[in-house]
């Protein structure tokens, strides 16, 4: 039921141009209610002549009692095409009249309400075969969708609304029947059947999926052979791990090619650091300029793991510049992170333009850089290769320092100094520009992803400040985003949290807490992770298919209670949760956790169907079940120091725990099953274990590394 088209839909989409958009009905005056909201995206629309309302029970009740069709328009603050449609349609009084006269119009921030977004995105994907933002849906007064799409031009939008309203007035039963069918389609698309086959995980299965995946690889620019190109950190995190465990040098070469090309491309900001959301072209040159916290958090983790394995200085620089960007633009010194920077900003003549803050002309670069312009322009391709449009260039690399240094008959060190000086001058110039708008809401899940990035960066680079930032953020989550009943909130803005947490908030926070324990040996983080997991079993668990709903049983009912299982730019909340339960099952010797993790993976297996890119985090869990998985237990007065040393190495498929008397809450470590009877006075021992069976303890780190890597 992927495409649920009907003759009515075709007439609506292709035969409605030229209709009169003036309503003959009495105009009902409402007011735009978005000024009362905290979401920057909703506040952006608070001045529109459209009588926007937020998504809440009162608005939905009003639609029912007034028997009006609902317009559900979904987007986010940094979305370029959301801004375009606002300017063309939602700021237009003629469009507003059509919307205000006949519809209840609801604006939704997809980042605040991913549950609402998922339902209506599923509907649009069933209707059109694709999705995106802005997402615009028309629903019956009861909220069931009947029509939708993404970006619409003004005339398209007016014509569609006029036709839909006419159909609703003349033949509402036809729309009701269509809504029934579409609702069934949405429900069917969300069903995950129980896998009754024997539970059996084999490496050969993963190899088959990876070999099929390889056919889509772009061996010139990395990633896949198509545009646009998204970074998809989970994909390359899994492929890095698989290549390492399987000793697949060609695959490892491809992963490193992808990471190098992303870091070289215009999708990475070579002046201030940080990654944009995706590349519009195949060679990572022209980005969609919005910068999202969740991308940068995951990419820091990815590049940090890659640096552990390769010691590639490009990866180290990429990590450092990305974290500098985050700290400068997206961090509040109270310990939390903001969400994003807009794609659009004001250009030199005061007009909003996508990428205006980031692009350069030759003339301004020559004026700023003077005698260094030529070498800078060669390195960052201020030429045909780096040209974008309208005389603007997006800085991008294609050559190594050594190659450019040789060309200009200078040393690599001198070249780096010259380029760093040039970048500093460009940073100073940018301070005179108007920055892209900041989305200053705080989301629990995205904060947890970013803090996890700081932890992996700490492991790779050894900088204590990165660990401190992660701890500060985790404490902020604990002190401000926990509810009285032990659950989580999803958002934080102006000192308030108003939205109940989703599974993504729990899964990513549990993941963060487990990683914090590994890096601090503080057992309290593990116990907090366990409490949150138990809360998920109480409020999110589906006993029929052993997966977790995206929404809590405390949340109001939507058209369907979604189960998020397919990995995307952010891995599915269920795949993160399944990996968490695998690890916690070992930490606490908890059979419920371990068996649930296995059942989740087993039930998802039929869905993978050689689509590795959409299930990479699940495939990572496969490797945890099929390849050698080790438990590294370190106890003693120097356990923390030895843990830090070991974790500088790329050691996938491994769990770390330990006890150090200098660590806070170390007394409660003895209650953890892996640590029982493993502490010897005045000795620091490294235990290498598999399935809770350990080799003889070691004191020497080099010996331990040799055994671990065998």
Q: What is the pLDDT of residues 48-78, one digit of tens each?
A: 999 999 999 999 999 999 999 999 999 999 8
In 3-state terms, what secondary structure has residue 94?
A: helix
Q: Is residue 634 part of a domain?
A: yes
Residues 215, 221, 223, 229, CA torsion sign: negative
Q: Could you tell me if residue 709 is inside a domain?
A: yes
What is the chain's mean pLDDT, rounded? 93
The SS3 call for residue 616 is helix
> Domain for residue 401, yes or no?
no
Residue 11 pLDDT exceeds 50: no
Burial class (CB in 10 A: 0-12, 13-18, 19+), 391: exposed
Of 146, 175, 190, the position where a domain reaches its end is 190
pLDDT > 50? residue 15 = no
Q: What is the number of domains present in the chain? A: 2
Angle between helical axes of 233-245 and 249-264 (0-180°, round to 10) = 150
Residue range 256-287, pLDDT digits in tens: 999 999 999 999 999 999 999 999 999 999 99
- Separation CA 395–CA 285 (nearest Å): 8
pTM over 0.85: yes
Residue 147 belongs to domain spanning: 7-190
Going from the C-alpha of 137 to that of each of 10, 125, 208, 516, the distances in angstroms are: 16, 11, 39, 41
Distance spanning both ends of the chain, measured CA to CA: 50
* 654-704 residue pLDDT tens: 999 999 887 776 666 668 999 988 888 889 999 999 987 888 899 999 999
Separation of alpha carbons 521 and 201, rounded Å: 31
Nearest to 301 by CA among 174, 457, 436, 498: 457
pLDDT number for residue 668: 63
Tell whether 671 is covered by a domain.
Answer: yes
Q: Could you tell me if residue 78 is inside a domain?
A: yes
Which residue is associated with the tokens 């629309």?
45
**Statement: residue 339 has pLDDT above 60:** yes
Position 21 pLDDT exceeds 70: no
Last residue of a domain, one of 165, 190, 215: 190
Res 5 pLDDT > 70 = no
| CATH number, position 646 | 3.40.30.10
Sign, CA dihedral 568-573-578-582, equals: positive
DSSP string, 649-693: S---SEEEEEE-TTSTTGGGGGGSGGGTT---TT--EEEEEETTE
d(CA 105, CA 376): 51
Q: Which of 318, 203, 210 is nearest to 264 (CA)?
A: 318
Query: Pick from 141, 164, 190: which residue ends a domain?
Result: 190
pLDDT, tens digit, for every residue of 424-477? Answer: 999 999 999 999 999 999 999 999 999 999 999 999 999 999 999 999 999 999
**Within-domain flag for 299:** no
Residue 405 in domain: no
Residue 19 within a domain? yes
Find the mean pLDDT for residues 368-391.
97
């Amino acid at each position: 039921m992927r495409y649920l088209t009907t003759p009515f839909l075709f007439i609506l989409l292709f035969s409605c141009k030229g209709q009169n958009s003036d309503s003959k009905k009495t105009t009902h005056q409402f007011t735009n209610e978005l000024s009362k909201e905290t979401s920057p995206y909703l506040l952006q629309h608070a001045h529109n002549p459209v009588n926007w309302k937020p998504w809440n029970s009162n608005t939905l009740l009003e639609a029912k009692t007034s028997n009006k069709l609902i317009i559900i328009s979904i987007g986010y603050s940094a979305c370029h095409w959301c801004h375009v449609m606002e300017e063309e349609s939602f700021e237009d009084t003629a469009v507003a009249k059509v919307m205000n006269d006949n519809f209840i119009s609801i604006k939704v921030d997809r980042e605040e309400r991913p549950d609402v977004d998922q339902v209506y995105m599923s509907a649009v994907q069933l209707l059109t075969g694709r999705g995106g933002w802005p997402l615009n849906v028309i629903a019956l007064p009861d909220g069931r969708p009947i029509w939708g799409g993404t970006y619409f031009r003004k005339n398209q939008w007016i014509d569609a609304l006029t036709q839909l309203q006419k159909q609703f007035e003349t033949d509402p039963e036809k729309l009701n029947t269509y809504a029934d069918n579409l609702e069934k389609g949405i429900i069917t698309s969300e069903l995950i059947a129980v896998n009754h086959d024997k539970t059996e995980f084999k490496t050969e299965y993963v190899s088959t999926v990876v070999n099929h995946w390889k056919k889509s690889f772009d061996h010139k620019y990395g990633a896949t052979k198509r545009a646009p190109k998204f970074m998809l950190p989970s994909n390359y995190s899994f492929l890095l791990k698989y290549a390492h465990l399987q000793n697949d040098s060609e695959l490892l070469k491809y992963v490193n090619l992808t990471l190098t090309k992303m870091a070289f491309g215009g999708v990475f900001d070579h002046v201030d650091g940080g990654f944009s959301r995706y590349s519009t072209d195949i060679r990572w040159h022209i980005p969609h300029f919005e910068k999202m916290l969740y991308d940068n958090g995951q990419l820091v983790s990815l590049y940090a793991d890659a640096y552990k394995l390769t010691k590639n200085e490009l990866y180290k620089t990429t990590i450092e510049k990305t974290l500098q960007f985050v700290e400068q633009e997206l961090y509040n010194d109270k310990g939390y992170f903001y969400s994003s920077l807009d794609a659009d900003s004001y250009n030199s003549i005061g007009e909003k333009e996508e990428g205006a803050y980031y692009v350069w002309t030759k003339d301004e670069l020559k004026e700023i850089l003077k005698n260094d312009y030529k070498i800078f322009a060669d390195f960052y391709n201020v030429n045909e290769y780096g040209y974008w449009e309208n005389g603007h260039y997006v800085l991008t690399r294609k050559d190594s320092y050594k190659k450019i240094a040789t060309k200009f008959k200078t040393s690599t060190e001198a070249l780096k100094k010259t380029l760093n000086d040039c970048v500093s001058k460009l940073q100073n110039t940018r301070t005179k520009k108007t920055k892209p708008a900041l989305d200053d809401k705080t989301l629990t899940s995205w904060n947890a992803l970013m803090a996890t990035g700081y932890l992996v960066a700490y492991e790779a680079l050894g900088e204590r400040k990165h660990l401190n930032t992660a701890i500060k953020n985790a404490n902020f989550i604990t002190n401000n985003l926990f509810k009285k009943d032990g659950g989580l909130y999803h958002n934080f803005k102006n000192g308030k949290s108003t939205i109940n947490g989703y599974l993504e908030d729990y899964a990513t926070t549990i993941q963060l807490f487990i990683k914090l324990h590994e890096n601090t040996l503080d057992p309290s983080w593990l116990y907090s992770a366990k409490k949150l997991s138990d809360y998920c079993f109480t409020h999110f668990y589906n006993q029929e298919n052993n997966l977790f709903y995206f929404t809590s049983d405390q949340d109001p009912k939507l058209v369907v209670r979604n189960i998020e299982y397919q990995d995307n730019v952010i891995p599915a909340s269920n795949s993160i949760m399944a990996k968490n339960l695998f690890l916690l099952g070992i930490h606490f010797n908890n059979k419920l956790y371990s068996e649930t993790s296995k059942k989740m993976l087993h039930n998802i297996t039929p869905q993978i169907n050689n689509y590795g890119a959409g299930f990479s985090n699940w495939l990572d869990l496969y490797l945890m079940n099929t390849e050698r998985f080790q438990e590294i237990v370190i106890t003693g007065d120097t356990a923390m120091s030895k843990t830090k040393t070991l974790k500088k190495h790329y050691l996938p498929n491994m769990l770390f725990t330990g006890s150090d008397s200098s660590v806070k809450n170390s007394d409660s470590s003895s209650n953890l099953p892996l640590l029982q009877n493993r502490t010897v006075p005045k000795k620091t021992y490294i235990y290498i274990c598999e399935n809770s069976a350990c080799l003889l303890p070691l004191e020497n780190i080099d010996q331990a590394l040799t055994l671990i890597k065998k």
